[in-house]
Structure 1
């Protein structure tokens, strides 16, 4: 039987048991992460993929990191974790990957204060109520909605799990990103990089790729208002996925060329 999934240059991701299939958001996010962000860590460098699903982001990190980097994936969905474990085991970096069924809250509580040099997440982003009882649709909605994992819960746990000077990467719809950035800042997570993504030229912004650093020394607060004062503003770029003729843009190809089989 033909495998259901996505063939990348160095690995294959099956996703038939996952509510959320391999998609552009995760491919962009995994491609955007800079492996040099792990350069300041010494010894074994631990990374965490929150809401790992098929394990795609974890495996993408494994491809671009060195032998001293170990990546763990967590998800609340039992079927997704089973799929992630199989995808990890079939990858060239199986010895540096693991997955477990856990909510981020329980994982944090049982983490024995372990810290991660890099945390990545493609989190849920819909706030609408779940209205269906059909099993697969229910699982897909749970994966996409914030009812099981609010952005506040995610950020509160990221702050507890992130190592000093660690990096947190995520992708969000553009219309909810500013509230996320503001709440992150209130917890001491400073935005250092942002990539605004457009589907095609002359369209509204679609997604924001965001990178935060905890306890960023470049961010101080006004002594009176306590408002953040950035000595160095975050870097902000833009990316358009398709040309007007609906071909992949040169920008998108350059970003994802290490992974897409066709690039």
Structure 2
């Protein structure tokens, strides 16, 4: 079990465990007071959905995943937000809710061209096999409300690939490149998209460094971003 300040995540029956990527995008995604409906694509343990519930006092949050969502439901039931978080099992490509969403967040499969691992669960979770980028883009375009935002975490190269594939349909408005330490190149990009017709001329860009380079020493910026969640902060 992974314990956060206000909730805990059981993960023994999920292929992909709680990791930095999910925490990053769950904390970084822009949550506005007016957002009423939020969607977590590829919810897994339900981590991001629960982070969104903690950050928004009144929003209704849905997590959708092609794999079993029973553990996500278990985690939500044990949280303070059981009445505002629900999960749907099935491919997002076939998800047909009654409303569009003000905020969509995803920590999606992303190793598009890499060698597939032998474990089927990890293959589904980490490779764009069941959810190719083009189908993720189409789902977001269909499910995102006017004025809504889509926040995603991807490796830097894959973020460029997704942005290019989404050109004319979704446009980036905010991008943060993430370094693990000051001396290492950025490995992840946090990107927030809107419908292309609503985008400004250029996205706002920033950088986030997680660690100082010393053992288990974290930067003030990373602590500030995640302190509402991590027990150690």
Report the TM range for the smaller structure's normalisation: over 0.9
Which has the larger displacement, 246-255 or 17-26? 246-255
> What is the distance in 2 between the residues matched to 1:66 and 1:215?
29
Alignment of 1:55-66 (within 5 A): 55-66=46-57
Deviation of the 1:152 alpha carbon:
0.9
Residue matched to 1:202 = 183
Deviation of the 1:131 alpha carbon:
5.5
Residue matched to 2:123 = 141
Residue matched to 2:163 = 181
Q: What is the aligned length?
A: 231
Residue matched to 1:24 = 20
Q: Any stretches of 5+ residues in structure 2 without a counterpart?
A: none
Contact 1:165 / 1:216 at 8 angstroms: preserved in 2? no
Contact 1:185 / 1:191 at 8 angstroms: preserved in 2? no
* Structure 1 residues 160 and 200: CA distance shift in structure 2, 3 A: same
> What is the distance in 1 between the residues matched to 2:82 and 2:133?
30
Q: CA RMSD in A?
A: 1.4
Which has the larger displacement, 250-259 or 53-62? 250-259
| TM-superposition CA deviations, 1:94-118 (whole Å, max 9, x none) | 10000111101111xx335x21111
> What is the distance in 2 between the residues matched to 1:179 and 1:88?
33
> What is the distance in 2 between the residues matched to 1:115 and 1:155?
15
Residue matched to 2:203 = 234
Does residue 120 of structure 1 match 2:105? yes
4+ runs of 1 displaced by more than 2 Å?
127-132, 215-219
Residue matched to 1:87 = 75
Residue matched to 1:193 = 174
> What is the distance in 2 between the residues matched to 1:46 and 1:122?
18
Deviation of the 1:202 alpha carbon:
1.7
Contact 1:165 / 1:215 at 8 angstroms: preserved in 2? no
> What is the distance in 2 between the residues matched to 1:33 and 1:87?
21
- Relative to the length of structure 1, the TM-score reads 0.84
Alignment of 1:72-83 (within 5 A): 72-78=62-68, 81-83=69-71
> What is the distance in 2 between the residues matched to 1:217 and 1:158?
15
Contact 2:173 / 2:192 at 8 angstroms: preserved in 1? yes
Residue matched to 2:92 = 104
